[in-house]
Amino acid sequence: MKVLVLGGDGFCGWPTSLHLSELGHDVSIVDNLSRREIDLELEVESLTPIRPIGERIRVWKELSGRQIGFVHLDLAEEYDRFESLLRAERPDAVVHFGEQRAAPYSMRSTIAKRYTIDNNVRGTHNVLAGIVASGLDIQVVHLGTMGVYGYGWSGSAPIPEGYLTVKVPTPDGDIEREILHPSNPGSVYHLSKTLDQLLFAFYCANDQLRITDLHQGIVWGTQTPQTSLDERLINRFDYDGDYGTVLNRFLMQAAIGHPLTVHGTGGQTRAFIHIRDTVRCVQLALENAPDRGDKVMVLNQVTETYRVRDLAALLSKLTGVEVANLPNPRREAAENDLNVSRDQFLELGLDPTYLSEGLLEEVREIALRYKDRADTTKIIARSVWRKGMETSPDLMRS
Ligand code: NAD
Ligand code: USQ
């Protein structure tokens, strides 16, 4: 299969590109390297020493004999080049990771809010419009998020995979309808993903595009079998207050002895998946495409759920590092339960990596190994959801 991996230089995209290449697919990465530029803007670097994209691709060729292509292209800004690329390459599928993906970054300023919506919504629309204009039957696999559903909307009922059956009252009695699950985004970033959903629904209905939207939970871990072959292939590991996600942040904080930064009571329950399972899920989605004329196929890409304070307690027990309950910079429910349907990937053959197996390996192989690269002034989350929610400096150690 010929596959374009949009956003293939990023945390999820790079290991997915290697995984698909290893399986024998003809892979090309399309990326504008904006994530590396945001590191410069935030004056922070991946905890792991990631190499430039050209070196990554050269090393992969040396070790595997397989060539991965690279096109430096902005999906939101360079529509014509993207359409020409589709016509020239004639891919069987695109895997779309190419968006601004951090909730705190999306809330840090008006500029960041506008950038996140412009970049993500325009980029996704350009991908879909470009496929229609090319006249080719190109499958789309998009990385969406569990956060489109919001937290606690449907009480204790499991969150379904994308769609909800509802009863609509009419004068002639109730009729049943299947609707896209109502969205309840908790940040401008999550809002951009809910807007993506409508674009997919429209292009499926109007143009019969074949689209799978993966509603992924928080990805943890760093390495896959391919990225760990050579240090020059190492995957990105974000730990800073804007881009670091909760479990990877706690792993790094535990390694350097920094109090674990629990927001509020830590009663927030979230869904998680290891990066090794992310790449496998994308493979399964590519291998099990919807047919033309089908509605958007939505799969919940999660393997376990945890409460933030339970994760902190687990790492505190493992490493002896204390837990700090900081004022929550976000507007979110202080406590929520989360029950997620995730049958489809298990039925397709996913054999998940659970926290109980992967956690110590992460602490040892990544967090402890690269702890000297950490900049402790970048740990506390400083982006706030509304003015006035800033954490007082004396509550921060760094
Ligand atoms: P990332 O920021 O590491 O990677 C995104 C990549 O896309 C970067 O390399 C960036 O340069 C590129 N990109 C962004 N805008 C672009 C544009 N306009 N044109 C071309 N390239 C562009 O993020 P990630 O963690 O790898 O996430 C990938 C996708 O998975 C995102 O869409 C994200 O919403 C989704 N996701 C991530 C997580 C997670 O925990 N990391 C969880 C759920 C869903
Ligand atoms: N949190 C802490 N302490 C921290 C960091 C986070 O308590 O140091 C809390 C947050 O307040 C939040 C929860 O942990 O309640 C999760 O935060 P996160 O930053 O790990 O995850 P989130 O902002 O939701 O975003 C991440 C990815 C995003 C993806 C999403 C999946 O950045 O791309 O879409 O996870 S999901 O959460 O399922 O929507």
Model confidence pLDDT, tens digit, residues 96-138: 999 999 999 999 999 999 999 999 999 999 999 999 999 999 9
| 25-73 per-position pLDDT tens digit | 999 999 999 999 999 999 999 999 999 999 999 999 999 999 999 999 9
- pLDDT of 285 strictly over 60: yes
- pLDDT of 397 strictly over 80: no
The mean pLDDT value for 180-204 works out to 97
Q: Are 255 and 315 in contact (CB under 8 A)?
A: no
- Residues in the chain, overall count: 398
Mean pLDDT taken over the chain:
95
- pLDDT of 163 strictly over 60: yes
The reported pLDDT for the residue numbered 396 is 45
Probe ligand 2: pick from 159, 270, 301, max atoms within 8 Å of CB? Answer: 270
The reported pLDDT for the residue numbered 358 is 82
| 353-369 per-position pLDDT tens digit | 999 888 878 888 899 99
The reported pLDDT for the residue numbered 391 is 61
End-to-end CA distance of the chain: 48
What is the distance in A from the centroid of ligand 1 to the CA of 8?
8
Of residues 360 and 189, more confidence is placed in 189
The reported pLDDT for the residue numbered 395 is 47
The mean pLDDT value for 314-322 works out to 94
Compute the distance between CA of residue 7 and CA of residue 38 in angstroms, rounded to an integer.
14
The reported pLDDT for the residue numbered 365 is 87
The reported pLDDT for the residue numbered 155 is 67
Q: Is the CB of 391 inside a 6 Å radius of any atom of ligand 2?
A: no
Probe ligand 2: pick from 308, 310, 321, 384, max atoms within 8 Å of CB? Answer: 308
Q: For the domain that residue 301 is a member of, what is the CATH number?
A: 3.40.50.720
For residue 253, give the ligand 2 atom closest to its CA.
8
DSSP run (H or E) holding 124: helix 110-134
The mean pLDDT value for 313-318 works out to 94
DSSP run (H or E) holding 239: none
Q: Are 379 and 371 in contact (CB under 8 A)?
A: no
pLDDT band for 153, please (50, 70, 90 cuts).
low
Q: What are phi and psi of 333, to 5 degrees?
A: -60, 135
Q: Is the CB of 126 inside a 6 Å radius of any atom of ligand 2?
A: no
Rounded (10°) CA dihedral 215, 117, 237, 96:
50
The DSSP code for 390 is P
Task: Please choose, from the candidates 234, 198, 203, 236, the residue with its C-alpha nearest in 3D space to the C-alpha of residue 219.
Answer: 236
pLDDT band for 156, please (50, 70, 90 cuts).
confident
- Please give all residues whose beta carbon lies within 6 A of any atom in ligand 1, as ranges: 7, 9-13, 31-35, 74-76, 97-101, 119, 123, 143, 145, 216, 218-219, 236, 245
Q: What are phi and psi of 256, to 5 degrees?
A: -100, 0
Q: What are phi and psi of 37, to 5 degrees?
A: -70, -35
Catalytic annotation present for 193: yes
Q: Is the pTM of this model over 0.85?
A: yes
Domain that includes residue 350, residue range: 2-396
- State how many domains the chain has: 1
Active-site residue among 145, 222, 245, 303? 145
The C-alpha angle with vertex 147 and arms to 365 and 249, in degrees rounded to 5, equals 25
Compute the distance between CA of residue 291 and CA of residue 297 in angstroms, rounded to an integer.
10
Q: How many helices (H) and strands (E) are present in the chain, helices listed first?
A: 12, 14
| 364-391 per-position pLDDT tens digit | 889 999 999 999 999 999 999 998 877 6
For residue 243, give the ligand 2 atom closest to its CA.
32
The reported pLDDT for the residue numbered 398 is 38
What is the distance in A from the centroid of ligand 1 to the CA of 119?
11
The reported pLDDT for the residue numbered 231 is 98
Q: Is the CB of 332 inside a 6 Å radius of any atom of ligand 2?
A: yes
Percent residues over pLDDT 90 in the chain: 92
